[in-house]
Amino acid sequence: MAQQTPLHASHIAAGARMVDFAGWDMPVNYGSQIEEHHAVRRDAGMFDVSHMLALDLEGADAKAFLRGLLANDVAKLTESGKALYSCMLNEQGGVIDDLIVYFLTDTHYRIVVNAGTAAKDVAWMQQRLAATGTQATLAVRRDLAMIAVQGPNARAKTWTALPGAEAASAGLKVFQAAAFGDIFIARTGYTGEDGFELTLPVDKAVAAWDALVAAGVKPCGLGARDTLRLEAGMALYGNDMDDTVSPLDAGLAWTVDFKDDSRDFVGKATLVTKGAGKQTLGLILEDKGVLRSHQKVITAQGDGETTSGTFSPTLEKSIALARLPLGVTAGDAVEVEIRGKRLKARVVKAPFARNGKALA
Amino acid sequence: MNTPANLRYTASHEWVRVEADGTLTVGVTDHAQEALGDVVFLELPEAGRVVAKEEAIAVIESVKAASDIYAPVAGEILEANQAAVDAPESVNADAYAAWLFKIKPANAADVDGLLDAAGYEAAIG
């Protein structure tokens, strides 16, 4: 039986269409996915992301451990609450998971990982902790729920819903978090809009969700979450990269930090030796149709493949992320094979849309 | 669920209206549009195409996924609904008004093999 988040009953009561996602029974939409998408681009929407897993790493060696575990460098985090997006690689340079790590103190980091990879991630981290003799412990926080409130009005509506939260979070910069009582408020998200991700005790989740609904925040399902993140050019683990794909090929080179020569991290040697073999760029379909993952892309430099594709409600065109041969550049005309037909597409730099506006 | 009693159905979620002249008007059911979510693209068969029963002859794409639409009977395509192609969301607004294509059955008796409303509701449980 699929796992349920603490907000499961709220989704059912709101008439959500539920689907299995990584072993969790989750809302895919509450009616119209496109309306939910627009609510986030234009006003405020929220997602139950309690299926994702929060981990707390605490101990004297926590920082040194993470500097060796992650491809991005947590040494950049010096202000309490600052967050960093990073890939966690295997020795072959493939992506075990992508995650967000929050710096709380030099001996305490909060890490949020994907639902589908959570068990694998924890096993890998525990193995690394033991293998490196690290003085730190990893706590699995299934006692916490997570709600992502996103959109141009998301912060203001969160402050209406949670009296007192404004004073604690108004000064947060993008990718920074602060504690508000037992609610952890982070100015992060996966939509390309401003907003918060709230991490809170499971027994407070329903009251917070209901207060947010009352403040005018629209419940949104995983369907809209996917079209929003794809418009924002954000990678989805399992689609755009996995254990066999290098972050350098997946458009995530910006998250790999080679600056400190003295820092080694898992996968570094392979990345340095192999370099980038491919690149990830955006596509906009110029013919009619809808791009999906795993469609063949024909370019002057050879064939590539879409890794995520959808209809973009903001652009009202179909868009995709695609793994393409090196040498293809933004502006190139390419073809995508859909059901045996070759359709015209244009290569663009992602993101396609952010902060309410079409960019591509 | 909306399953009009005056229509016939397939287990693959097409509805079929038998017209006075024996031709068939075909669309996708309300149940299907709800399961698909927001429809954003339709690819419909050309008039004159001769099709086999249960042949995949059209494609409906929602934001979520692409699905095939099948010929309910063998026959010849008479017309595709260009208005639905131009406004795919009309399928969500009213699945029974947004017909997709008209087909002339090769054998009029083939219609008897289609489900009635009760049979379709039972099929989708």
Residues B86-107 pLDDT 10s:
999 999 999 999 999 999 999 9
The count of residues in chain A is 360
| CATH class of the domain whose range is A54-140 | alpha beta
Q: Name the one residue in this structure whose structure tokens are 């007192």.
A: A164
In chain A, residues under CATH classification 3.30.70.1400 are: 54-140
pLDDT tier at A1 (50, 70, 90 boundaries)?
confident
pLDDT at B125: 79
Q: Per mean pLDDT, which range of A16-20, A51-55, A258-262, B62-66 is the poorest?
A: B62-66
Going from the C-alpha of A339 to that of each of A190, B7, B100, the distances in angstroms are: 31, 31, 19
CA distance A258 to A99: 18
Mean pLDDT over each residue of chain B, to the nearest integer: 96
ipTM: 0.85
pLDDT for res B94: 97
If we measure between CA atoms, which residue out of A297, A315, A298 comes closest to residue A306? A297
Q: Which residues in A lie closer than 8 A to residue B56 (C-beta atoms)?
A: none
**Coil, helix or strand at residue B9:** strand
- The rounded percent of chain B whose pLDDT value lies above 70 is 100
Domains by residue range for chain B, with CATH: 13-106 (2.40.50.100)
Residue A173, pLDDT score: 97
Task: Show residues of chain A in contact with B40, CB under 8 Å.
Answer: 290, 311
Which residue of A17, A227, A339 is in closest CB contact with B63? A227
- For residue A17, give the nearest of B33, B27, B4, B112 by alpha carbon: B33
Residue B112 DSSP code: G
Q: In the predicted model, is pLDDT for residue A329 greater than 90?
A: yes
The burial of B17, by beta-carbon neighbours within 10 Å (0-12 exposed, 13-18 middle, 19 or more buried), is given as middle
Per the prediction, chain A carries an average pLDDT of: 97
Interface of B with A in 44-83 (CB under 8 A): 59, 61, 63-66
For residues A102 and A78, is the Cβ–Cβ distance under 8 A?
A: no
pLDDT of residue B83: 97
Residue B53 distance to chain A (closest CA, Å)? 20
Q: How would residue A360 be classed by pLDDT, with cut points 50, 70 and 90?
A: confident
Average pLDDT rounded to a whole number, residues B7-16: 97
Q: Which CATH number fits domain A277-358: 2.50.20.10, 3.10.510.20, 2.120.10.30, 2.40.30.110?
A: 2.40.30.110
Contact B40 A288 (CB under 8 A): no
A311: nearest CB among B34, B43, B63: B63
Q: What percent of chain A has pLDDT over 90?
A: 98
pTM comes to 0.94
CA angle A102, A106, A112 (to 5 degrees): 20
Average pLDDT, integer, range A16-34: 96
- Whole-angstrom distance, CA of residue A290 vs CA of residue A287: 9
Q: What is the pLDDT of residue A45?
A: 98
pLDDT at B37: 93
pLDDT digits (tens, 9 = 90+) for A141-192: 999 999 999 999 999 999 999 999 999 999 999 999 999 999 999 999 999 9
Mean pLDDT, rounded, for A217-233: 98
- A17 contact residues in B (CB cutoff 8 A): 34, 37
> Interface of chain A against chain B, CB under 8 Å?
17, 28-29, 32-34, 223, 227, 288-290, 292, 310-311, 313, 318, 339
Q: What is the pLDDT of residues A236-280, one digit of tens each?
A: 999 999 999 999 999 999 999 999 999 999 999 999 999 999 999
Q: Which residues of A311-325 are buried (b: 16+ CB within 10 A; e: fewer)?
A: bbbbbebbbbbbbbe
Averaged pLDDT, A37-55:
98
Q: What is the pLDDT of residues A58-108, one digit of tens each?
A: 999 999 999 999 999 999 999 999 999 999 999 999 999 999 999 999 999
Q: What is the pLDDT of residue A148?
A: 98
Q: Where in chain A is the domain with CATH 2.40.30.110?
A: 277-358
**Cα atoms in the 13 Å half-sphere on the side-chain side of A227:** 32
Rounded to whole angstroms, the Cα distance separating A215 from A160 reads: 6
What pLDDT is stored for residue A70 in this prediction?
98
